[in-house]
């Protein structure tokens, strides 16, 4: 038998497998390089954002050109107890929209005003004689008097009669 047959078809022409995959020195150099690149990127981004923030503050104008305030409105508002009125006044003077600082309280006040309006008497337009009444009283009156009912086809017949009526013209003078 030949020697090739005993090696199962593999010839011995310098073919060996790798003795060393990766050195620990290469891994450490890569990790240190990665950390240095990360720090450089971090400082570039921090510098870029600080430059852009300074540029925005220098270019910031008041909310309305009609506003006489020369004070620049801050983006950060701290609501300390008792300072809500100060901040509201500052924003109203600047023409900026009001921010909600007590959402539950403001919504509760809104609901209470609506409830008071629904359960009381008052005028919508006194000159025209239009008033509002409490809901309970309106339901009682509806049960007493019933809903207004038009005769069947009455509304459409009246509209048709108006459109079919010939227009009267004044005789032309000669």
For every one of its 174 residues, what pLDDT tens digit does the chain have, with 9 covering 90 and above?
A: 555 555 555 555 666 766 667 788 889 999 999 999 999 999 999 999 999 998 888 887 655 555 555 444 444 455 555 555 666 666 667 766 666 767 888 889 999 999 998 899 988 888 998 888 998 999 999 999 988 888 787 556 656 655 555 554 445 554
Q: Which helix (H) or strand (E) holds 152?
A: none
Size of the chain, expressed as the number of residues it contains: 174
| Cα distance from N-terminal residue to C-terminal residue, the chain | 140
**Distance between CA 74 and CA 86 in Å, rounded?**
14
Contact 130, 124 (CB under 8 A): yes
pTM over the 0.75 mark: no
- The CA-CA-CA angle for residues 16, 21, 22, to 5°, reads 150
Block residue for tokens 């790798």 = 18
What confidence score (pLDDT) does residue 86 get? 67
What confidence score (pLDDT) does residue 174 get? 44
**Distance between CA 159 and CA 85 in Å, rounded?**
58
Q: Taking the domains of the chain in order of start, what are their residue ranges?
A: 25-60, 108-146
Tokens of 4: 């090739």
Antiparallel, parallel or unpaired: β 122-125 and 130-132 = antiparallel
């Amino acid at each position: 038998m030949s020697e090739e047959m005993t090696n199962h078809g593999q010839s011995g022409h310098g073919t060996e497998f790798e003795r060393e995959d990766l050195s620990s020195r290469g891994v450490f150099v890569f990790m240190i390089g990665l950390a240095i690149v990360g720090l450089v990127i971090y400082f570039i981004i921090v510098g870029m954002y600080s430059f852009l923030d300074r540029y925005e503050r220098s270019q910031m104008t008041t909310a309305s050109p009609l506003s006489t305030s020369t004070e620049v409105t801050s983006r950060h508002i701290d609501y300390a107890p008792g300072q809500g009125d100060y901040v509201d006044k500052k924003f109203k003077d600047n023409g900026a929209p009001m921010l909600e600082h007590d959402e539950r309280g403001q919504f509760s006040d809104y609901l209470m005003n609506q409830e008071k309006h629904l359960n009381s008497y008052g005028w919508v337009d006194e000159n025209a004689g239009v008033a509002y009444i409490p809901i309970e009283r309106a339901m009682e009156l509806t049960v007493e008097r019933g809903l207004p009912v038009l005769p069947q086809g009455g509304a459409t017949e009246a509209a048709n009669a108006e459109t079919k009526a010939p227009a009267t013209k004044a005789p032309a003078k000669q």
